[in-house]
């Protein structure tokens, strides 16, 4: 019997988890990074540091970990450096595969404080080769406990940094030493929860911002570990946040979970978060069209979308979706539901888009009749609707 070529029989390696560390200028990203690099748990992590301007200085303040740190200083990750990021990540894979650098098991990208994180996430999730070799694990956002409220008031980039985060780290809490500052910190924490209830909020000075809490967020390497989708989605945090809101304002949502922005701030008021739930599995084609319509016509409003979805073609094996604006990772099918709850749960962080619209659109494709919303047939026959193109589930 002829021997098979080992190159042909070799299984592709699991995707490498990649995290993004962001936060506005002066929030303490460099301090946190220095602390994390001392942790043995991150000894096999490669760090990419982005800097703004022609002369790079931030990397001089970061302690090197065995030299496995790449500094990109040709621009801001949210604009000109995007092409450089792609080529850098590709080159790192080549050097890793060829043994020219020691293998790394994780990548951490620190963005400049001025960056909108969405284009960075797009780069990882959309590039055909990178999305096979890297898996976006999560976004870590630092917020200054002293100046955070003022920063959120003035800079919309900081609001987006919070809105897309999986982990929010409050820095400089040791400087909060008066009753007035403590009251302001409490208001800041409530504001962060309103902006992004599904993110875990950690205190840097209390020792909570350690590697175990910031990484391994529950879903990044589906081939070699059992995914903790419940931890990844953190739906309970959204439910608790909205329950408290409903109690505080004396009204009942009757089973629906909406985030009504009561903050009059001009940035916060446009951002909503909610979890769409559905007990009945959806037809794959209908689900694909549901996502396609959202991406095509409301992509900029989808700051973050992630969820676990039951489909009629194989209801015992759900798919996991993960998207940022109009870019989505290819769905990954699980071997089984990870918990006793077999309902579809999709977390949305929206900008300038009402949760009610998402629910009505879902209802149209799920066959739930609504008097003020066209049904699936009407949406499909609409000349503006997507047709004749490959979908996420093809």
Domain 259-381 is classified in which CATH homologous superfamily? CobW-like, C-terminal domain (3.30.1220.10)
The predicted pLDDT at position 249 comes to 44
Asked whether 112 and 52 are in contact (CB, 8 A), the reply is yes
Question: Cα(199)–Cα(227) distance, rounded to whole angstroms?
Answer: 18
Q: Is the pLDDT of residue 115 over 90?
A: no
The predicted pLDDT at position 12 comes to 59
| Rounded mean pLDDT, 271-290 | 91
pLDDT cut 90: percent of the chain above it:
30
The predicted pLDDT at position 317 comes to 94
Specify the higher pLDDT residue, 139 or 393: 139
**Lowest mean per-residue pLDDT among 14-23, 145-154, 206-215, 233-242:** 233-242
Q: In the CATH hierarchy, which top-level class contains the domain 15-214?
A: alpha beta
The predicted pLDDT at position 258 comes to 38
Residue appearing with tokens 């609504």: 370
The predicted pLDDT at position 21 comes to 94
DSSP output for 21-76: EEE-TTSSHHHHHHHHHT-GGGTTEEEEEE--SSS--GGGGS--STT-EEEE-SS-
The predicted pLDDT at position 145 comes to 95
| Rounded mean pLDDT, 106-111 | 89
User: Can you give the pTM of this predicted structure?
Assistant: 0.76
pLDDT, tens digit (0-9, with 9 covering 90-100), for 204-253:
888 888 888 898 776 654 444 556 777 778 777 766 655 555 455 443 33
Residue 324: in which H helix or E strand, if any?
strand 319-324
pLDDT, tens digit (0-9, with 9 covering 90-100), for 249-274:
443 333 333 333 334 355 677 888 88
Domain limits, CATH 3.40.50.300, in the chain: 15-214
Q: Is the pLDDT of residue 133 over 60?
A: yes
Q: Is the pLDDT of residue 7 over 90?
A: no
DSSP output for 226-291: ---HHHHH-HHHHHHHHHHHHHHHT---TT----------TTGGGEEEEEEEESS-B-HHHHHHHH
- Residue 169 pLDDT level (bands cut at 50, 70, 90): very high
Structure-block tokens of residue 357: 């619209």
The predicted pLDDT at position 72 comes to 59
- Residue 376 pLDDT level (bands cut at 50, 70, 90): low
Domain limits, CATH 3.30.1220.10, in the chain: 259-381
Highest mean pLDDT among 42-51, 62-71, 364-373: 42-51
């Amino acid at each position: 019997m002829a021997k098979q070529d080992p190159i042909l029989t070799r299984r592709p390696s699991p995707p490498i988890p990649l995290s993004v560390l962001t936060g506005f200028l002066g929030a303490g990203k460099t301090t946190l990074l220095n602390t994390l690099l001392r942790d043995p748990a991150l000894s096999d992590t490669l760090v990419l540091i982005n800097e703004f301007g022609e002369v790079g200085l931030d990397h001089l303040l970061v302690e090197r970990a065995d030299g496995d740190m790449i500094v990109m200083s040709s621009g801001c990750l949210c604009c000109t450096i995007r092409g450089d990021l792609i080529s850098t990540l590709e080159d790192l894979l080549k050097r890793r595969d060829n043994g020219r650098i020691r293998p790394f098991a994780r990548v951490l990208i620190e963005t400049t404080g001025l960056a909108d994180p969405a284009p960075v996430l797009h780069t990882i999730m959309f590039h055909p080769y990178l999305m096979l070799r890297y898996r976006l694990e999560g976004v870590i956002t630092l917020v200054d406990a002293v100046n955070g409220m003022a920063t959120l008031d003035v800079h919309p980039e900081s609001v987006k940094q919070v809105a897309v985060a999986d982990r929010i780290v409050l820095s400089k809490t040791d400087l909060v030493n008066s009753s007035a500052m403590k009251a302001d910190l409490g208001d800041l924490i409530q504001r962060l929860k309103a902006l992004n209830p599904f993110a875990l909020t950690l205190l840097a000075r209390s020792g909570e911002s350690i590697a175990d809490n910031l990484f391994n967020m529950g879903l990044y390497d589906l081939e070699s570990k059992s995914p903790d989708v419940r931890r990844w989605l953190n739906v309970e945090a959204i439910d608790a946040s909205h329950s408290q809101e409903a109690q505080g304002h004396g009204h009942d949502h009757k089973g629906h979970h909406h985030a009504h922005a009561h903050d009059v701030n001009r940035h916060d008021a446009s951002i909503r978060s909610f979890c769409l739930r559905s007990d009945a599995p959806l037809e794959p084609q209908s689900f694909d069209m549901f996502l396609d319509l959202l991406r095509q016509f409301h992509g900029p409003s989808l700051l973050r979308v992630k969820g676990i979805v039951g489909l009629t073609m194989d209801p015992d094996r759900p798919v996991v979706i993960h998207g940022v604006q109009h870019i989505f990772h290819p769905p990954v099918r699980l071997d089984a539901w990870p918990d006793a709850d077999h309902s579809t749960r999709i977390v949305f962080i929206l900008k300038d888009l009402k949760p009610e619209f998402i629910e009505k659109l879902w209802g149209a494709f799920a066959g739930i009749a609504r008097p003020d919303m066209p049904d699936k047939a009407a949406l499909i026959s609409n000349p503006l609707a997507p047709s004749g193109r490959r979908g996420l589930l093809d």
